[in-house]
Amino acid sequence: MSEIITNGAGTAPIGYTVGEDLVDRAAPDGPIETRWTRRKFAAKLVNPANRRKHRIIVVGTGLAGASAGATLGEQGYKVIQFCYQDSPRRAHSIAAQGGINAAKNYRNDGDSVRRLFYDTIKGGDFRARESNVHRLAEVSVQIIDQCVAQGVPFAREYSGLLDTRSFGGVQVQRTFYARGQTGQQLLLGAYQALSRQIDAGNVEMHPRTEMLDLIVIDGRARGIIARDLVTGKVSTYMADAVVLATGGYGNVFYLSTNAKNSNASAIWRACKRGAYMANPCYTQIHPTCIPRSGDHQSKLTLMSESLRNDGRIWVPKKAGDTRPPDQIPEHERDYYLERIYPSFGNLVPRDIASRAAKNVCDEGRGVGPGGLGVYLDFADAIRRMGEDKVREKYGNLFEMYERITGENPYKVPMRIYPAIHYTMGGLWVDYDLQSTVPGLFVIGEANFSDHGANRLGASALMQGLADGYFVLPPVIGNYLAQAKLVPADVDSPEAREAYDRSTERLERLLAVNGDRTPDSFHRELGQLLWDYCGMARNEAGLRKALARIPELREEFWQRVKVPGTGAELNQSLEKANRISDFLEFAELLCLDALHRAESCGGHFREESQTPDGEALRDDENFAYAAAWEFTGVGSPPVLHREQLKFEEVHLAQRSYA
């Protein structure tokens, strides 16, 4: 496919060409229950004495990166690790509140590895690999034991057993939690394990340092270019393998629940060096976010999905009803999730809850300023359990809400509205977590592998720790045992070229000296994506976005204003560098959404929906992962399809009624 559209700047190519299909050659066959066990046994090993000879770069220190660095260091590898924060413990994983899934079945309520596997495949709207998802479900059981051994303070019942609660898209209680601080507590566990390896000299830690480019020598990932964000010094680091654990790209939308510095630069620069980008249109809208309060905001705040265990979601039945919630009687309230989806109620998956909230607000029944909000009401829970019990379970979340809004959620319902949160797309990886560039491994949210078109709540922490603690170590050892690498030199032509390319880009940004701030471009791009590639997408809107993005990108390079120099702490330069990547990546995101003429999970094409307004898949034409090969900025990318096989789960229209 290839086509040309005309816009105000002339002609802009937005088409793509179709390349060879991708095959995951690392994935084992045979019974799904034994595939991971057999893959580990077949993996080649690196003996302990030889591990000391290998250098591995790990970029990122969230749950995936910290657990990977700690485990690889413990095994004896020489790890060189990077994060742009001032400390590894400040990675965005600390913001995860509600919990982590595991198929322990402590509640004896019918849970199992098989059920977690099925719930994840169904929750992702049948757009994930069966082998990867089953491995994730298997490993989930080990994660809890690992974290308990590290001292993670999971909530416990009166008897001393670990407590669990429910999250969206399931009918069992498999989510382990530490009040509303689960991500923080899990990260502290991984961080202390990482710190032990730093102290032992097995991990060389570089905080306040950002990856600028990937070095590829003889077709293999052999190092990175990184910039010290305090001094501005750009340096070259070489290794035998590179691991990216840099999170998702949700901040391309400007307003999201991500930390402000979360970005896509590492995976996008890797994409430009040959790693394929898979399913970028799969972006998750979280239904439980504090509504935006005005144009001054630079980010949004998430309220944990765990609140939907006991909070009830409703809006007035009558459009335009602006009465305070306590003045709206019960018979004039619409508990719309409980009405439409009685089997799951308020705990339907995130994509479904988000679209339902949008629909009632579009009908004029939204609450709060601008009508962009729905109520999350705890009145029934307080009557049933008592305020003390609610405070025990959710107190820190209620406190956070009150600090931000000035409203007491024990007295009045919370107001929530959907917002950009997680990204299911990312760099394509095989079963061994290796990208299309040999030696480049991608873990956690930075890859595309485990969630399909929608992630179930409490599964992000599960995937990050599964990849870092249990999956990456054996498969990266298998690569190193067979790669037959020669020492990589910082003075090699490829390393020098990557260094020059990185420094020239920074110098170019500084030289523009225009009249617009980096943030102004980011805000405009984010609004464009939210309007045309947000909770709902259609062909006309996506074409508008694809016409405007190249214009905005050209304007950026003509008008951006970056004060200061590169040889110092310069946060404007940091922002501009990341936004320049967003302006390139956004075009691929919209193209992927345009090409996928179906609805599935978080990707909702208005032209493809059931009579009831639910996502309507096209399994005949789109039951594949779309992996995009970069061919140059503004040039049509190449689409490689990885056909998805469903042998264990029957393809069916999702139903949560």
- Catalytic residue numbers, as ranges: 350
* The pairing of beta strand 78-82 with beta strand 55-59: parallel
Give the helix/strand (H/E) hosting 347.
Answer: none
* 3-state SS, residue 655: coil
Instruction: Check if the beta carbon of residue 607 is closer than 8 Å to that of residue 537.
Output: no
Rounded Cα–Cα distance for residues 214 and 271 (Å): 9
Distance from C-alpha of 230 to C-alpha of 570, rounded to nearest angstrom: 8
Q: How far apart are the first and last CA of the chain?
A: 39
Q: Give me the helices (H) in 273-385, please.
A: 336-340, 350-362, 379-385
Per the listing, tokens 């002339």 go with 10
Q: Is 377 exposed, middle or buried (0-12, 13-18, 19+ CB in 10 A)?
A: buried
SS3 per residue for 392-420: HHHHHHHHHHHHHHCCCCCCCCEEEEEEE
| Residue tagged 């590829």 (tokens) | 216
Residue of 283, 457, 285, 299 whose CA lies nearest to 359: 285
Alpha-carbon separation of residue 425 from 17, 247, 628 (angstroms): 20, 11, 11
Q: How far is CA 310 from CA 341, 347, 384, 451, in A?
A: 16, 10, 10, 26
The DSSP result for 436-468, as a single string, is SSTTEEE-GGGB-SSSTTSPPTT-HHHHHHIII
Nearest to 433 by CA among 58, 24, 63: 24
CB atoms within 10 A of CB 142: 14
CA–CA separation, 656 and 172 (whole Å): 14
